[in-house]
Amino acid sequence: MAKIPKVFFICGNGLGSSLACQMEADDVFQAAGIEVNSGHDSISAAPSLDADVIVSASNFESQFANTQIDPKTKIVYLDNIVDKNEIKEKVVPIIKEIAES
């Protein structure tokens, strides 16, 4: 049985850009036939999330450097959080790898 990866989309407050990214990514995952448990939250909540993958904008990368994220969690930074091609290129391979593990 394949694992269903837990993917969280993270932004500063967990309200706007993380939700927009989640919505675009959910479309990409559905088109690829990939099942995920997805959610969105703020960067301050990220350490407490039991996530397989965290997806965030590249401008938050320096903030994650000062955040205690579980080492097993993979973090993906996107230059454009609503670019479906970038999501497909950077996030989908990681999701597939986790699902098949």
Alpha helices in the chain (DSSP H): 17-32, 61-64, 84-90, 92-100
- The answer for residues whose C-beta is within 8 angstroms of residue 52's C-beta and 6 or more apart is 5, 6, 7, 72, 73, 74, 98
The answer to whether residues 48 and 3 touch, using CB atoms and an 8 Å cutoff, is: no
Mean pLDDT throughout 34-42?
A: 96
Report the pLDDT value the prediction gives residue 2, as an integer from 0 to 100.
Answer: 79
Mean pLDDT throughout 36-65?
A: 95
Mean pLDDT throughout 6-23?
A: 95
Give the tens place of pLDDT for each residue, 48-58: 999 999 999 99
Give the predicted TM-score (pTM) of the model.
Answer: 0.94
The answer to whether residues 59 and 12 touch, using CB atoms and an 8 Å cutoff, is: no
The answer to whether residues 98 and 52 touch, using CB atoms and an 8 Å cutoff, is: yes
> Does residue 1 surpass a pLDDT of 80?
no
